[in-house]
Amino acid sequence: MTEVSEILMSVLSTIRVPRPGDRVHKDECAFSFASPESEGGLYVCMNSFLGFGSKYVERHHAKTGQRAYFHITRTRKTQKEDENNSGSGDPPKKKPTRLAIGIEGGFDVEQEQYDEEVKVVLFPDRQEVTSEDLASMPDVVRERVSLSMAGLQAADSVSHALQVQQWDGEVRQESKYAAELKQLDNGVKIPPSGWKCEVCNLQENLWVNLTDGKVLCGRRYFDGSGGNNHALLYYQQTGYPLAVKLGTITPDGADVYSYDEDDMVLDSKLPEHLSHFGIDMMTMEKTERTMTELEIAVNQRVGEWEVIQESGTTLRPLWGPGLTGMKNLGNSCYLNSVMQVLFTIPDFQTKYVSNIDKVFNEAPSDPTQDFKTQVAKLGYGILSGEYSKPAPDPVDDPSTSTEPRGDQVGIAPRMFKALVGRGHPEFSTNRQQDAQEFLLHFINMVERNCRSGMNPSEAFRFLVEEKIVCQQSQKAKYTQRVDYIVQLPVPMDQATNMEELQEAERRREEVESSGAPPPAAPRAQIPFAACLAALSEPETLTDFWSSAVQAKTTATKTTRFASFPDHLVIQIKKFTFGLDWVPKKLDVSIDVPDTLDLSALRAMGQQPGEELLPEVAPPPLMTPDVEVKAPVLDDSTVSQLCEMGFPLEACRKAVYYTGNTGIDAAMNWVMGHMEDPDFSAPLVLPGSSSAPGTTPTESLPEEHLATIVSMGFSRDQATRALRATNNVLERAVDWIFSHLDDLESMDVSEGGRSEGGSEASREPPPGPRVRDGPGKYELFAFISHMGTSTMCGHYVCHIKKDQQWVIFNDQKVCASEKPPKDLGYLYFYRRVVE
């Protein structure tokens, strides 16, 4: 037996054959972005199936003693030039005809081809064993190693399941209404042409309701085009669910929309349903663009997209440390933009990158599932410059390439995205997301994982002071809350080009009756000062319960900064809801300044001679029978709020504290209290035995207590969390992580029980740690969104580096020529220290 055979025999028990369910990391290193295509290839541990680049495989061998690694190297195949190639070497791209990715007719996704070479490498001497070498080895060695190699080659990598290969936006489901749709025998017959809306006479974007044959116009689009919402309004009045877009009917089908299911659907009985109104599908011809064609046009149109991506100019590619592009993993541009900005902030660099060796040395046995390790890996990948290199040119002969295209090798944050999105209903998917929501989600994860030691999210944390003054008694109430983002309202009535906007609206109304397409709407010009004024101006509360006068009255609420953070994030509230609750995006240009002074918005606290409102809760709602202590809540209002996605207990409190005065008052209460730490906590009535600090009548589930205690919390802390969330384990876990500062202040003995005197004798818990300083800032980054809503479109970010604005557009990193600072969505400022 040869020396290599003897080594394999000695480690045979550590060589495993992958089984279904095993996580095989054969595309990406656990500590870096090395892959089989990288120099040196990728080494996959044949026991744990973790992957390591050549830089980190020795570390894993030394730490674990594992000797056998499956080594994969891939070499990119050169592309054969198509006979129709253009002079640049790039084949002409076909115009998409299908709302899909990676499917014939859809948006093209380049599928690169590679030659792959595999072998087993034995450490520490890096002895190599190929499949041919195994033929001459003992049967037991040959069989086990061959099975392991074949299993590793055949296994799907973890990243493969996460990476978008194909997506088809035209796959539609059968409507639940199609089979049993009731159609009225009202004698209505639809002519084959000459249609118009029965309300406004519009002659395009028309839909026929399949219940009664009513012909009405469709929804108005964000830019003012489309219809006037009459078909939608009719559904809201009648509940008739299905409609067909006239002009899309052909023998092959038509566009069918279900208002209740809020999606394009299939109707297997469509010929029958149309013939009820005299429409013969077999004789109809297409005269209108389908919804798919309209969506493709939106994804290709220029305007906002062109300006934000600076696509009208030739941009100079940049390479080097801090200038690393990030691959789009399928609608992951929101993540790319946010993380590029965060790793320009010193706190995140210090926490995760400056001591990266320490982070990696302390990593658990599976570093792919460790938050700190994966954030450090991403930060180093962005900042080091190791991956900031031009992408290889796809042509056969690199010498024929012209100027650099700007694309980089870059990094693909697959492990990071999988980890931070795990368990989240949105961020675990490949759908587009709101960058602001992801930023808060990531900050929340940082908070959870930094219970001890440095916490970089403190760079954003600040205190907000809310002052409410009862207009009848002139007494005040002060509250403070923690926040991370300033949400800046957009006062559309303050547009400086109001006359132009009004004239455009007048022209649009004029052409509606003629059926001609409406003219493009101008962009509203909003002064930044007007946005800031809208944030700081007092808000009138009409249904405020005053503890001073023991009744509802009018009050004013003002919001100020109780502290100024080191780094200030401002969100422009471009996304809103129309009167029909349809999301829309405001098309605005705001003159956001390079420098900002918010000193005038610092909170002053209680003023000399100012009286405070008594700390008395509002009285419970009573039935005429005063013996009934439970509140009588308007169930319909509670249900309406719940249908909007708000927690049940928050909805109950909203209805209770607004005295059953209707949906509008309750909705205002919800919007004004969403940031309250007890927003989702159960409604507790004055004098109730289930008030905080008392023992509720129901017992706490012992298994829930044990689960939380096993996570490292005391029994008292677990009890407090369960009581605050009505004994729902999942909510209790979320609650406990969002109240760490309060919980850590609890005086807990080794046995887990509180020591010392009563609650009243204890010092109040300290507030959250916040930094404070002057309220003067300078702009250093902004994230822009293109598209009609946060659920679609594209994000890019601009970051100021060495006095030069740089645009990060996924893998493209270039010097910015005209940074569109007026069209941003999230703005990042750093404190100016004088």
Residue set of the binding site for Zn(2+): 197, 200, 217, 230
Find the helix or strand (DSSP H, E) in which 71 lies.
Answer: strand 68-76
DSSP state string for 522-554: PPEEE-HHHHHHHHHS-EEEEEEEETTTTEEEE
Binding residues for substrate: 207, 219-222, 257, 259, 262
Cβ density class 770-787: b for 16+ within 10 Å, e for less: beeeebbbebbbbbbbbb
102 vs 83: CA distance, rounded Å: 23
Binding residues: 197, 200, 207, 217, 219-222, 230, 257, 259, 262
Bridge partners, 398 (sequence order): none
Which residue among the candidates 25, 273, 567, 794 is catalytic per the annotation? 794
- Please give the C-alpha separations between residue 282 and each of 17, 29, 270, in angstroms, as whole numbers: 58, 57, 12
- The two structure tokens encoding residue 84: 């129709």
- The two structure tokens encoding residue 604: 């002053």
Residue 732, helix vs strand vs coil:
helix
- Which stretches of 3-87 are DSSP H helices? 3-10, 57-64
429, 381, 435, 436: which is closest to 811 by C-alpha? 381
**Does 29 qualify as catalytic in the annotation?**
no
Which residue among the candidates 333, 531, 651, 797 is catalytic per the annotation? 333
- Which stretches of 121-217 are DSSP H helices? 131-134, 139-154, 158-162
804, 809, 812, 817 alpha-carbon torsion, rounded to 10°: -40
DSSP E strands in 562-649: the ranges are 567-572, 575-577, 583-585, 588-590, 595-597
Residues 158, 24 contacting (CB under 8 angstroms): yes
> Which residues contact residue 185 at a Cβ distance below 8 angstroms, ignoring those fewer than 6 apart?
none
> Which residues contact residue 777 at a Cβ distance below 8 angstroms, ignoring those fewer than 6 apart?
568, 595, 596, 597, 598, 829, 830, 831, 832
- The two structure tokens encoding residue 463: 């205190």
**Does 794 qualify as catalytic in the annotation?**
yes
Residue 420, helix vs strand vs coil:
helix
Residue 262, helix vs strand vs coil:
coil
Catalytically active residues are 333, 794
